[in-house]
Chains A and B, each alone.
Chain A
Amino acid sequence: GQPLGVLDGIPVAVKDNFNTAGIETTCASNMLKGYISPYNATVVQKLLDQGAVLLGKTNLDEFAMGSGSTDGVFGPVRNPWSYSRQYKEKNPPKSHSENEDSEWVITGGSSGGSAAAVSSFTCFAALGSDTGGSTRNPAAHCGVVGLKPTYGLISRHGLIPLVNSMDVPGILTRCVDDAAVVLGLLAGHDPKDSTTIQDTFKPFELPDSIDIRKLCIGIPKEYQVPGLSSEIQALWSEVAELFKDAGAKVIEVSLPHTPYSIVCYHVLCTAEVASNMARFDGLEYGHRADMKQSTESMYAATRREGFNDVVRGRILAGNYFLLKENYENYFVKAQKVRRLIANDFVKVFGSAVDILLTPTTLSDAAPYVEFIKEDNRTRSAQDDILTQAANMAGLPAISVPAALSKRGLPLGLQFIGRSFQEKQLLSVAKWFEKQVKFPVIQLEDMKRHDCSVFQHQKSVSSL
Chain B
Amino acid sequence: LATWVPVVGLEIHAQINSNSKLFSGSQVQFAAPPNSLVSFFDASLPGTLPVLNRRCVEAAVMTGLALNCSINKKSLFDRKHYFYADLPAGYQITQQRVPIAVNGNLSYSLCIDNKMSQMVTKTVRIKQIQLEQDSGKSLHDDARSQTLVDLNRAGVGLMEVVMEPDMCCGEEAAAAVRELQLILQTLGSSQAIMAEGQLRVDANVSVHHPGEPYGVRTEVKNINSVRFLAKAVDYEIRRQIEELENGGTILNETRAFDSKLGCTISMRDKEGKQDYRFMPEPNLPPLILYDAKSLPANMNHQQVVNIDWIRERLPDLPSVKRAKLVELYGILPEHSFTLLNEDGLAEYFENVIKHTQMKPKKVIGWILNDLLSYLKEHALAVKDSPVSSFLLADLLNLLERREISSSAAKQVFEELWKGEGKTPLEIVKEKQLELLRDQEELEQICQAVIDRQEDEVGVGTFG
Contacts and interface: CB of A to CB of B under 8 A. Distances in A.
Interface in A246-290: 271-272, 274-275, 277-281, 283-285
Given A160-B47, A278-B83, A195 B90 contact: no
Contact of B88 (A283, A319, A331): A283
Contacts of B45: 37-39, 284-285
Contact of B47 (A161, A283, A299): A161
B283 A194 contact: yes
B46 A19 contact: yes
Interface string B15-53: 000000000000000000000000010011111111110
A322 B149 CA distance: 28
B278 A194 contact: no
Given A192-B49, A195-B285, A275-B91, A281 B279 contact: no
A295 interface: yes
B211 interface: no
A32 B283 contact: no
A15 interface: no
Contacts of B43: 284-285
Given A194-B285, A283-B85, A284-B45, A275 B51 contact: no
A158 B81 contact: no
Interface in B310-325: none
B277 A195 contact: no
A279 B44 contact: yes
Contacts of B47: 18-19, 37, 41, 157-161
B46 A272 contact: no
Contacts of B278: 322, 327
B38 to A, nearest CB: 9
A132 to B, nearest CB: 15
A275 B285 CA distance: 18
A462 to B, nearest CB: 34
A165 interface: yes
A159 B284 CA distance: 16
A159 B85 CA distance: 24
B51 A191 contact: yes
Contact of A194 (B46, B49, B83, B88): B49
B128 to A, nearest CB: 20
Interface in A139-154: none
- The main secondary structure of chain B at its interface with chain A is loop
Given A41-B47, A283-B149, A295-B147, A275 B88 contact: no
B79 interface: yes
A192 B283 CA distance: 11
B240 to A, nearest CB: 28
Interface string A292-332: 10011001000000000000000000010011100100010
A322 B81 CA distance: 10
Nearest to B42: A284
B248 interface: no
Q: Which one of A37, A159, A164, A278 has the highest number of Cβ atoms from chain B below 10 Å of its Cβ? A: A278
Interface in B237-290: 275, 277-279, 282-285
A360 B149 CA distance: 48
Interface string A11-24: 00000001100000
A156 B279 CA distance: 20
B279 A160 contact: no
Given A194-B52, A278-B90, A32 B46 contact: yes
A272 B284 CA distance: 14
B89 interface: yes
A193 interface: yes
A367 to B, nearest CB: 33
A285 B46 CA distance: 9
Contact of A165 (B88, B275, B282): B282
Interface string A189-202: 00111110000000
A274 B282 CA distance: 13
Q: Which one of B40, B277, B285 has the highest number of Cβ atoms from chain A below 10 Å of its Cβ? A: B277
Given A194-B50, A194-B52, A278 B279 contact: no
Interface in A155-212: 156-161, 163-165, 191-195
Given A159-B47, A192-B51, A278 B282 contact: no
Interface string B167-187: 000000000000000000000
Contact of B83 (A195, A281, A285, A323): A281
Interface in B55-102: 79, 81, 83, 85, 88-91
Interface residues of A, number: 45
Contacts of A319: 277
Nearest to A164: B282
B164 to A, nearest CB: 23
A20 to B, nearest CB: 10
A162 to B, nearest CB: 11
Interface in A330-348: 331
Given A19-B46, A283-B149, A322-B277, A272 B40 contact: no
A441 B25 CA distance: 49
A300 to B, nearest CB: 10
A395 to B, nearest CB: 18
Contact of A278 (B48, B50, B91, B149): B91
A19 B40 CA distance: 12
Contacts of A25: 46
A38 B39 CA distance: 11
A299 B277 contact: no
B353 to A, nearest CB: 50
A331 B79 CA distance: 14
B279 A195 contact: no
Contacts of A156: 49
Contact of B275 (A41, A191, A272, A323): A323
Nearest to A322: B277
Contacts of A322: 81, 277-279
A38 B43 CA distance: 12
A128 B184 CA distance: 48
A286 B46 CA distance: 10
B284 A194 contact: yes
B81 A324 contact: no
B351 to A, nearest CB: 46
B49 A272 contact: no
Contacts of A275: 79, 81, 90-91, 277, 279
A195 B283 CA distance: 6
A163 B88 CA distance: 19
Nearest to A158: B47
Contact of B89 (A193, A194, A278, A292): A278
A70 to B, nearest CB: 22
Given A158-B48, A191-B51, A322-B278, 16 more contacts: A37-B45, A160-B46, A192-B51, A193-B49, A194-B52, A194-B285, A272-B279, A279-B44, A279-B89, A280-B46, A283-B88, A284-B43, A284-B88, A285-B45, A323-B277, A331-B279
Interface of A: 18-19, 25, 27, 32, 37-39, 41, 156-161, 163-165, 191-195, 271-272, 274-275, 277-281, 283-285, 292, 295-296, 299, 319, 322-324, 327, 331
Interface of B: 40, 43-52, 79, 81, 83, 85, 88-91, 145, 147, 149, 275, 277-279, 282-285
Kindly list the 10 A-B residue pairs having the minimum CB-CB distance in the complex, ordered from nearest: A278-B90, A322-B277, A164-B282, A165-B282, A279-B44, A160-B46, A158-B47, A160-B47, A279-B89, A19-B47
14 contacts: A19-B46, A157-B48, A159-B47, A161-B47, A163-B282, A164-B282, A194-B51, A194-B285, A272-B282, A275-B90, A279-B88, A322-B279, A323-B275, A323-B277
